[in-house]
Amino acid sequence: MKTLVLGGDGFCGWPTSLHLASQGHDVLILDNLARRSIADRISSPSLTPIASIEKRIAAAQSIGSIAFEFCDIATDCLRLKEILAQFQPDTVVHFAEQRSAPYSMLGDSERRFTVDNNINGTNNLMSSLVELGQRPHVVHLGTMGVYGYNDDFGEIPEGYLDVTVKQTQKDVSICYPGNPGSIYHMTKVLDHTIMQFYAKNWGFRITDLHQGIVWGTDTELTRSHPQLINRFDYDGEYGTVLNRLLSQSQVGHPLTVYGTGGQSRAFIHIQDTARCIHLACGNAPDEGSLPQVFNQIAEVHTVRVLAQMISDKTGVEIGFQDNPRKEAAENQLRVSNQGLRSLGFEPITLDDHLMKEIESTVVAFKDRIDHSVIDSKARW
């Protein structure tokens, strides 16, 4: 299977690209290396010393067929179309988006960059495929954050909500009403609408993976060679909550919890991200279907419980802070993940792996932690 991975140099993209290559996919990564340049701009390099993309690709040759082309899909359609015409992908995995909610809320230029980059990237991809007459299966990384947290809707289903229309008393399945909590999350709602239209009008097979918060950094493959190491962000903008807390614990920084920490969120380990995407690639929906949605999550926890687990293991205390975000102080969260489970997904859970993660990555590089980037600068 020829698989194009857009954004394959990023935190999820890189381990997924390696995993797909190891499973026999012929992988071509496109990336504009935006995650590296943003890290420079916010003065927060990866905790782990990641190799250049050239060295990564060289080291990855032992794993499988994997190549790289520099391309900014949001701005360089000509190059994108050249590459598509030559590579003829069976599957396109689309990670090529600005993926930090706090970054998207920093200010005017970050709001505009996030919308411009994410929406034009997705539309350019789909429009180029129409132009070329190609119909690969498109696997898009969405987010659980598109759903919002609305108790009236019950357990969060996979993309679609069964309702009865009051006026007609007809039972219908509708696209789950989006209720994003940041500009970033909003772009994922927009992406879904875009892909839904392309699926309807041009017969694309689409899988949208509404992913939980990713934790961890290593997979079997990124551990297998120093130049394959994955990036690890612990700063207030790009560090996902569990990774931030783990890093803080290693340098004795009070564990940053916003508000009461009663926010329930869904989590998934980075190794499972790669496995789930491999499963999704192999299970396209039928042509003519609505986009297929899977909730790519392993388990649900409150931030407070996570922080307490880490505090208990490390002795570092929790530092409650005023919540810089507009979100409910406390919420319940129940999420279906039957789609991927029915395809064989068996999640890695926090209890199994939590301490291993601390030992393997954060301890190894703790001297590189820069205290000044720990707190988020975004307010909304």
Give yes or no for residue 197 binding its own copies (CB under 8 A): yes
Residue tagged active-site, from 16, 48, 122, 143: 143
CA-based radius of gyration for the chain:
20
Q: If we measure between CA atoms, which residue out of 113, 112, 117 comes closest to residue 95? A: 117
Specify whether the CB–CB gap between 369 and 47 falls below 8 A: yes
Residue 143 known to be catalytic: yes
* CA trace torsion 309, 312, 313, 314 (10° rounding): 120
For its own copies, which residue of 37, 40, 166, 312 counts as binding (CB under 8 A)?
A: 166
Give yes or no for residue 154 binding its own copies (CB under 8 A): yes
Give yes or no for residue 328 binding its own copies (CB under 8 A): no
Give yes or no for residue 85 binding its own copies (CB under 8 A): no
**Nearest distance from residue 78's CB to its own copies, in Å?**
11
- State which H helix or E strand residue 270 sits in: helix 270-281
**Nearest distance from residue 152's CB to its own copies, in Å?**
4
**Separation between Cα atoms, residue 229 and residue 224, nearest integer Å:** 8
**For 348, what's the count of Cα atoms within 13 Å in the CB-facing half-sphere?**
19
Give yes or no for residue 290 binding its own copies (CB under 8 A): no
Stretch that binds its own copies, among 50-58, 173-181, 221-229, 245-253 (CB under 8 A): 173-181
Specify whether the CB–CB gap between 225 and 8 falls below 8 A: no
- Give first-to-last CA distance, the chain, whole Å: 43
The number of residues that bind its own copies (CB under 8 A) is 47
| Contact pattern for its own copies over residues 108 through 137, marking x by CB under 8 A | x--xx--xx--xx--xx--xx-xx------
Q: Please name the amino acid found at residue 88.
A: Q
Residue 188 known to be catalytic: yes
Give yes or no for residue 378 binding its own copies (CB under 8 A): no
Q: Which residues contact 134 (CB under 8 A, 6 or more apart)?
A: 84, 88, 89
**Separation between Cα atoms, residue 321 and residue 319, nearest integer Å:** 6
Nearer to its own copies among residue 40 and residue 166 (C-beta) = 166
Q: Which residue has the tokens 């600068």?
A: 377
For its own copies, which residue of 34, 66, 84, 189 counts as binding (CB under 8 A)?
A: 189
Specify whether the CB–CB gap between 118 and 141 falls below 8 A: no
> Other CB atoms closer than 10 Å to residue 358's CB: what's the count?
18
**Nearest distance from residue 236's CB to its own copies, in Å?**
19
Residue 184 known to be catalytic: yes
Q: How far is CA 98 from each of CA 114, 236, 244, rounded to the nearest angstrom?
A: 6, 15, 19
For its own copies, which residue of 43, 61, 88, 193 counts as binding (CB under 8 A)?
A: 193
Decide the pairing of beta strands 137-143 and 91-94: parallel
Specify whether the CB–CB gap between 67 and 27 falls below 8 A: yes
**Nearest distance from residue 164's CB to its own copies, in Å?**
4
Stretch that binds its own copies, among 50-58, 194-202, 257-265, 293-301 (CB under 8 A): 194-202
Give yes or no for residue 326 binding its own copies (CB under 8 A): yes
Give yes or no for residue 211 binding its own copies (CB under 8 A): no
Stretch that binds its own copies, among 49-57, 135-143, 187-195, 299-307 (CB under 8 A): 187-195
| Residues at the site binding its own copies, with contacts judged by CB under 8 A | 77, 107-108, 111-112, 115-116, 119-120, 123-124, 127-128, 130-131, 152-155, 157, 161-168, 170-172, 174-175, 177-178, 180, 183, 186, 189-190, 193-194, 197, 200-201, 326, 380
